[in-house]
Amino acid sequence: MANKVDLFEFNPVTRQALEQAHHAVDAYFDILKEMVSAFPSGGTQIGERMKEEGVENITAVQALVKRLSEAKDFQEALAVQTAFIHSQLNVFAKRVVNVSEVPVSAPQDTTKKISKSPRLVSRSKDAK
């Protein structure tokens, strides 16, 4: 059988540029995760969950990018993407169940705080 030509065989300069690009993408995702983690949650349970899930999503995409960059051919890349979509659908289904379990008191408390706001009370008096 004839030697198979490796379509992804790069010269050293190109390979070094790709490695630098991979490091830059990893650094970008790491910074993005730090930013999401530092974002204020509003002191609510659902805000904290949203932050945690945001970081998990970024980590999953970061892993996907890494696996795709290591794919040897289109078929392997397609398999990686299919597995990623399948895992994300499972994660989404679990999160729907988790969100439905969040206590409803947080939005009610926020509504009470807004309705008792002095600014809103004074405007309603001015309107009369």
pLDDT, position 27:
94
pLDDT, position 18:
85
Mean pLDDT of the chain: 80
| Backbone region of residue 39 per phi and psi (left: phi > 0; alpha: psi in -120 to 50; beta: other values) | beta
What CA–CA distance (Å, rounded) separates 9 from 15?
A: 9
Assess whether pLDDT exceeds 60 at residue 102: yes
Domain count of the fold of the chain: 1
pLDDT, one tens digit per residue, over 74-98 is 999 999 999 999 999 999 998 888 7
DSSP 40: -
What CA–CA distance (Å, rounded) separates 33 from 43?
A: 19
- State which residues form the domain around 83: 12-101
**30 in any annotated domain:** yes
**110 in any annotated domain:** no
**17 in any annotated domain:** yes
What CA–CA distance (Å, rounded) separates 102 from 44?
A: 10
**52 in any annotated domain:** yes
What CA–CA distance (Å, rounded) separates 108 from 44?
A: 12
**112 in any annotated domain:** no
Q: Are 77 and 71 in contact (CB under 8 A)?
A: yes
Name which residue leads in pLDDT, 115 or 87.
87
Please give the model's pTM, rounded to 2 decimal places.
Answer: 0.65
**66 in any annotated domain:** yes
**113 in any annotated domain:** no
pLDDT, position 103:
63
Contacts of 37 (CB under 8 A, 6+ apart): 51, 55
pLDDT, one tens digit per residue, over 24-43 is 999 999 999 999 989 888 88
Percentage with pLDDT > 90 across the chain:
38
Contacts of 100 (CB under 8 A, 6+ apart): none
**123 in any annotated domain:** no
